[in-house]
Amino acid sequence: MHASDRAAESLLAFWADGGVDAMLLDQPLDRIEAGKVAPPQPTARIPAPAQRAAPAGQPDVSGPVAEAAARAAEAQDLDALAAAIAAFEGCPLRYEGAASKAVCWRGEAGAPLMVVGEGPGAEEDAQGLPFVGRAGKLLDRMLGSAGLEGRALITNTVFWRPPGNRTPAPHEQLICAPFVERAIILAKPRMLLLVGGASAKFMLKKDEGILSLRGRWFEWRSTDGTVELPALPTLHPAFLLRQPAAKKRAWSDLLTLIERLDRPDRPA
Ligand code: URA
């Protein structure tokens, strides 16, 4: 069997595993029409929104948020930003669950896609890289199957492992947010893939659950309103490992993503 046959077989097995057992929909879908949306525009004249306040019942983290914002603003490239994160002592997660250094990002700087997960787990903590455990391997297979291998920079909403792999709390995400935002600004992706409910809800400031948010386009906006990017929430690969039947929905989200990412520019 040729290598290309094996690759095709593996891709088909991945699809079948996720419930994709037919290549045709019941009704024709014009994906070009469906995906017609204005390309992302920098929006220089949007007034700067106020710094996000701590959600009700969460600790006041305005001090560490301001410090993170100041340190992030000084970083002029991703390496400098990673060094600033590593030196930052304002996130409590650093002292709670994390055994090792900050887990910043992996993948291609300058890639068209930025994937934002929730927070590092045990394997990520051990290796110092995001999404390298079981869920990360599935994420890589999904991105590869969608033709996105080597075309994404992968990070999380927090840079230290929450104890016991719990979901990061909103105040922990708030503290790390200036660094996440600066990473997006420096990496200049064309769009964001928000992986998991805790990522999607925080990045988009939404209260809906991931099953309602997934597969729909939103606009992510920087704190000062100068950068806007299309953002697509999808299911977390850890959830897909527990619920393989849901892979079908994740695959549909990836098709939505690549249709917009790879669509040739059109006149407005
Ligand atoms: N889950 C996440 O959300 N991020 C990781 O890096 C690993 C698992």
From ligand 1's centre to the CA of 140, what distance in Å?
12
At residue 48, the pLDDT reads 38
Q: Is 119 in the pocket of ligand 1 (CB under 6 A)?
A: yes
Query: Per the structure block, which two tokens stand in for 159?
Result: 């840079």
Q: Which residue has the tokens 């920098």?
A: 42
> CB of 216 within 8 A of CB of 234?
no
CA angle 208, 17, 125 (to 5 degrees): 60
pLDDT digits (tens, 9 = 90+) for 141-171: 999 999 999 999 999 999 999 999 999 999 9
What dotted CATH number matches 60-261?
Answer: 3.40.470.10
Q: What is the residue type of 30?
A: D
From ligand 1's centre to the CA of 59, what distance in Å?
24
At residue 98, the pLDDT reads 82
Q: Is 197 in the pocket of ligand 1 (CB under 6 A)?
A: no
Out of 93, 104, 115, 131, give the residue to mutate to test ligand 1, the one with the largest number of ligand atoms within 8 Å of its CB: 131
Which value, in Å, is the radius of gyration of the alpha carbons in the chain?
19
Least confident of 30-34, 39-43, 92-96: 39-43
Q: Is 162 in the pocket of ligand 1 (CB under 6 A)?
A: no
Q: What is the pTM for the complete model shown?
A: 0.81
Domain spans of the chain, in order of start = 60-261
